[in-house]
């Protein structure tokens, strides 16, 4: 499993998502503001957790939603 968490600095929801995923291996955090294409794709939707091109979660993450993904 290799997931990407798209975030932005100063985003409270992003910080919550990062905290929920802190103990999960193979999660890379990417600041969307570092790339204009990512800003267009995810800018107002962050945080967004993806597995490749597939969006797994976005917005406010719950512990239950993250746990359900880990059980897959």
Digit-coded pLDDT (tens) for 1-28: 689 999 999 999 999 999 999 989 999 9
Q: Count up the domains in the chain and report the number.
A: 1
Q: State residue 16's pLDDT score.
A: 96
Mean per-residue pLDDT for 32-40? 96
Give, in degrees to the nearest 5, the angle at Cα 41 between 39 and 47.
75
Percentage of the chain beyond pLDDT 70 is 99
Where residue 72 falls among pLDDT bands split at 50, 70, 90?
Answer: confident
- Compute CA distances 51 → 10, 12, 18, whole Å: 24, 22, 16
Whichever domain contains 53, its CATH number is 3.40.30.10
Please give the residue range of the domain that contains residue 51: 3-71
Residue 38 clears pLDDT 80, i.e. is over it: yes
Residue position matching structure tokens 């490749």: 52
Of 3, 13, 8, nearest to 60 by C-alpha is 13
Q: Exposed, middle or buried: residue 53 (CB in 10 Å: 0-12, 13-18, 19+)?
A: exposed
């Amino acid at each position: 499993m290799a997931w990407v968490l798209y975030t932005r600095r100063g985003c409270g929801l992003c910080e919550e998502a990062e905290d929920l995923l802190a103990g999960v291996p193979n999660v890379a955090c990417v600041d969307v503001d570092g790339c204009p294409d990512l800003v267009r794709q995810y800018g107002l939707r962050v945080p967004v957790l993806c597995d490749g091109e597939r969006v797994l979660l976005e917005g406010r993450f719950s512990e239950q939603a993250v746990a359900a993904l880990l059980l897959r």
